[in-house]
């Protein structure tokens, strides 16, 4: 059997076995993309700072909105970096996208063509945050929030323009492109996750009988030597037991 065919057999699974594995995937996706999300958020902050540095020095910007935007972006970046739960992680990523849009919306006072400023920046923010969100629902909610914030008070002119149909097409195309990229990133993460799960199963279980093999047994021995009172089993279940010594712990290996 060729190497490519063997790899294909490992990658043949395309769906989750149970809801627990599905939940584990979303947690893993949020954890593995945390540094990517923080990097994209910092890039957005730096891009906005550069836009202010290169702005017309004679323009007066909205200082309260600027302060709120900076504080919101920094807080959201900190939440994303320090998050250990899916809820806090999602809130941090969503908030950073919204406050970044608010920061760029505050730059409208520095341009004579707000419509030209609003449309490209909205598209850029929506596309750049496509790999950040691990779920398409979260991405769509953030995309519409970004469009609402950055175009607030500036949407009347493009809507009543003679080429309004093109502008609507441009907006919808940007959202569709971001959604497509988000779904593709999710699919690739899912594929990688399922391959990792399959490799872990092949590494610790016999392919014919599904019984734990010697490698799994030795791992259980190492876990029993851990002096803590919590035993993390390979299947992801956390079972609490009292630390009564190595002899009794070795007798409980079959329970894992």
Task: State whether 43 and 64 are in the same domain.
Answer: yes
Banded model confidence at residue 71, pLDDT cuts 50, 70, 90: very high
Q: Is residue 109 part of a domain?
A: yes
Mean predicted confidence (pLDDT) in 144-170: 78
Task: State whether 148 and 221 are in the same domain.
Answer: no
Banded model confidence at residue 99, pLDDT cuts 50, 70, 90: very high
Quick count: other Cβ atoms within 10 Å of Cβ 186?
A: 20
Mean predicted confidence (pLDDT) in 36-51: 93
Measured CA to CA, the distance from residue 18 to residue 68 in angstroms comes to 43
Task: State whether 120 and 172 are in the same domain.
Answer: yes
pLDDT value, residue 238: 39
Domain boundary among 150, 168, 198: 198
Structural domain boundaries enclosing 128: 18-198
Sign of CA dihedral 102, 108, 109, 110: positive
Task: State whether 234 and 190 are in the same domain.
Answer: no
Per-residue pLDDT for 38 more than 90? yes
pLDDT value, residue 241: 34
Residue among 86, 194, 191, 174 at smallest CA distance from 130:
174
Q: What is the pTM (predicted TM-score) of this model?
A: 0.74
pLDDT value, residue 81: 92
Largest Cα–Cα separation, the chain: 83
């Amino acid at each position: 059997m060729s190497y490519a065919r063997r790899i294909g057999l490992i990658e043949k699974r395309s769906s989750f076995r149970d809801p627990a594995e599905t939940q584990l995937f979303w947690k893993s996706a949020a954890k593995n993309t945390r540094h990517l999300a923080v990097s994209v958020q910092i890039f957005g902050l730096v891009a906005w700072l550069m836009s202010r540095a290169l702005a017309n020095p004679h323009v007066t910007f909205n200082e309260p909105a600027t302060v709120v935007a900076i504080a919101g972006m920094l807080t959201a970046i900190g939440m994303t970096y320090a998050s250990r739960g899916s809820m806090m992680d999602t809130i941090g990523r969503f908030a950073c996208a919204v406050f970044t849009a608010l920061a760029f919306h505050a730059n409208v006072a520095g341009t004579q063509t707000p419509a030209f400023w609003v449309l490209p920046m909205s598209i850029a923010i929506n596309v750049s945050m496509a790999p950040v969100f691990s779920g398409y629902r979260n991405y769509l909610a953030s995309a519409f929030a970004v469009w609402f914030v950055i175009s607030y008070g500036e949407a009347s002119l493009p809507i009543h323009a003679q080429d309004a149909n093109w502008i609507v097409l441009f907006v919808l195309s940007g959202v569709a492109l971001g959604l497509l990229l988000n779904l593709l990133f999710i699919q690739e993460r899912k594929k990688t996750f399922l391959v990792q799960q399959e490799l872990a199963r092949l590494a610790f279980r016999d392919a014919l009988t599904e019984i734990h093999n010697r490698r799994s047994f030795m791992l259980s021995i190492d876990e029993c030597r851990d002096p803590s009172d919590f035993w993390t089993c390979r299947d992801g279940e956390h079972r609490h037991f009292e630390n009564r010594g190595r002899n009794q712990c070795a007798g409980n290996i079959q329970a894992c």
